[in-house]
Amino acid sequence: MALSVRIVTPERDLWSGPASMVIARGVEGEVGILAGHVPMLVSLAIGPLRIQVDEQTEQVVIVDGGFLHVTSDGDQTRIDVLAEQGVLAQDIDPGAIRELMPELERAAGSGDALAKAELAKAQARLAAAGEPVTQ
């Protein structure tokens, strides 16, 4: 029994395929989902969504909020992720993000809520790319 996973944004389908496990960061904490999981709906936070494809392969997608929906029908467990925005970890350009960081940090320091959210997105992307992140 495997999971069927699909991750979409308003712009495009990001990833879909079978998986053995999914770990997502919800607004109330992390959740792990295996085959046979009970149906649920999770409000996603900014952060990584880890998809264990098989024993050797993990796919990481950084999502900027949205929802994760789990349905189960007999032997089939399906996970649909509707993300506001998202990017595959291997598509992240750390250099481009580093160039934007000083401006984002200044704007976030002024108390602008939107700037704080954009800074959190940039930090999540850098962390997924294996880059050191300043707080």
pLDDT digit string (tens) for 15-55? 999 999 999 999 999 999 999 999 999 999 999 999 999 88
Burial class from Cβ neighbours inside 10 Å (0-12, 13-18, 19+) for residue 66 reads buried
- Asked if pLDDT for residue 135 goes beyond 80, the answer is no
Task: Identify the three-state secondary structure at position 11.
Answer: coil
In tens, the pLDDT along 70-97 reads 998 878 899 999 999 999 999 999 999 9
Sign of the torsion angle spanned by Cα atoms 124, 128, 134, 135: positive
Paired with 44 in beta bridges are 26, 66
How many beta carbons lie within 10 A of that of residue 57, not counting itself?
Answer: 10
As a whole number of angstroms, the distance between CA 129 and CA 62 comes to: 10
